[in-house]
């Protein structure tokens, strides 16, 4: 779960509170979580990444919370043919209705970015929300797609006449890494006269991403701020609502070694496919027809068929082993009987 939260003093007697959150879709549990977070934290602006929405579904953003206005960029084009994966993920802004009159949407050429202007007193703020490609962990080479996203952010800054720039979101690299992507992100911050918020004195840096197995941890969600306001951060940390709301709306699973089936490795490909397409189906709001629905049904059917087939094989093998064990027991019993008969014969000879 990725989220960070920061209030900034920008205009006189006015702070701007913003959050960034990678939702990995907008299914029922994600919408519930976002609504709970907005009600609890009441940020002025929420930056969302990986909404996984088609253009026809962007209206869902406006229904996330009645106190917020939304603007989003589609992550997947509306096509008839099947689309593999989530090419851009989709990004969106939600801002409080109290800022409605002072907010203006900015057009972006790159679908990994969306931007808005907010005017506070006499100060104009450009907010840029980004979902960057994954880190390639190369020491020397920056992926072309990652560089293109950085260049698009730089162009927004160059073309803007805003007094302050706030650039944030899931930037998919940890600034502590000594590799090409982290260097490129640091160079962007330098080029736009900005600082990374995690480096400010009031920041409480923490891992914003933890892998499902708990082994992979990193800080990949960032705010990049104009140097003129970076010293005005009140605090920057991981939202407490993450752990509170996450407990109630995200299922928690714990491995149970005692009940782990012996056939888990053989069934893993079928299970992984079924779980993947089930998650895609849920992120698409559970359609009742179409290719995503069909793929979910087919992979689920294949998984259960393979599971039944393997269980039949296991039962047949168990019966065969049990029969072999019974035959060995009978053979041992016959051998013991023969031994008793030989012993009785020897005793009979002695008596005679």
Q: At what angle do helices 291-351 and 264-283 cross, to 10 degrees?
A: 160
Contacts of 88 (CB under 8 A, 6+ apart): 73, 74, 75, 76, 111, 112, 131
8 Å CB contact between 125 and 118 = yes
Task: Parse the chain into domains and list their residue ranges.
Answer: 2-249, 257-327
pLDDT of the chain, 352 residues: tens digit per residue: 455 555 554 544 468 899 999 998 898 889 999 999 999 989 999 999 999 988 888 999 999 999 999 999 987 666 545 555 545 589 999 999 999 999 999 999 899 999 999 998 888 999 999 999 999 999 999 999 999 999 999 999 989 989 999 999 999 999 888 899 999 999 999 888 888 888 876 666 678 887 777 778 888 999 999 888 876 765 555 554 444 444 333 443 444 443 444 556 677 788 888 888 888 888 888 888 888 888 888 888 888 888 888 888 888 888 888 888 899 889 988 888 888 888 777 666 655 5
Place of tokens 């290719």: 291
Q: Is 232 exposed, middle or buried (0-12, 13-18, 19+ CB in 10 A)?
A: middle
Topology (CATH) of 2-249: Deoxyribonuclease I; Chain A (3.60.10)
Among the residues of the chain, which ranges form H helices? 28-41, 144-159, 180-191, 227-230, 241-249, 264-283, 291-351
Q: What is the CA radius of gyration of the chain?
A: 30
């Amino acid at each position: 779960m990725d989220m960070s939260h920061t209030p900034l003093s920008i205009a006189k007697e006015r702070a701007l509170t913003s959050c960034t959150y990678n939702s990995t879709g907008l299914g029922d549990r994600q919408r519930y979580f976002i609504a709970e977070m907005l009600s609890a934290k009441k940020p002025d602006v929420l930056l969302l990444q990986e909404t996984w929405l088609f253009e026809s579904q962007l209206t869902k953003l406006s229904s996330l919370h009645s106190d917020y206005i939304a603007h989003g960029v589609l992550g997947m084009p509306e096509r008839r043919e099947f689309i593999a994966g989530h090419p851009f993920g989709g990004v969106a802004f939600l801002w409080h209705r109290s800022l409605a009159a002072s907010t203006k949407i900015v057009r972006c050429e790159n679908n990994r970015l969306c931007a808005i202007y907010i005017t506070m007193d006499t100060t104009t703020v450009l907010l840029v929300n980004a979902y960057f490609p994954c880190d390639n962990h190369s020491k020397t080479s920056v992926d072309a797609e990652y560089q293109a996203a950085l260049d698009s952010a730089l162009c927004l800054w160059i073309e803007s006449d805003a007094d302050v720039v706030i650039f944030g979101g899931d930037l998919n690299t940890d600034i502590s890494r000594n590799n090409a992507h982290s260097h490129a992100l640091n160079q962007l911050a330098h080029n736009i006269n900005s600082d990374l918020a995690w480096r400010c004195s009031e920041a409480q840096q923490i891992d914003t991403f933890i892998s499902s197995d708990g082994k992979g941890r990193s800080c990949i969600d960032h705010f990049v701020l104009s140097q003129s306001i970076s010293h005005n951060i009140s605090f920057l940390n991981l939202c407490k609502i993450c752990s509170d709301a996450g407990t109630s709306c995200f299922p928690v699973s714990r491995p149970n070694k005692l009940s782990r089936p012996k056939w888990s490795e053989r069934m893993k490909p079928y299970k992984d496919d079924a779980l993947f397409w089930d998650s895609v189906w849920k992120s698409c709001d559970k359609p009742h027809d179409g290719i995503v629905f069909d793929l979910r049904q087919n992979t689920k059917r294949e998984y259960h068929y393979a599971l039944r087939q393997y269980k039949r094989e296991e039962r047949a093998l168990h019966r065969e082993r049990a029969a072999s064990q019974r035959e060995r027991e009978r053979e041992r019993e016959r051998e013991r009987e023969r031994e008793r008969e030989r012993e009785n014969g020897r005793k009979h000879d002695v008596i005679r």
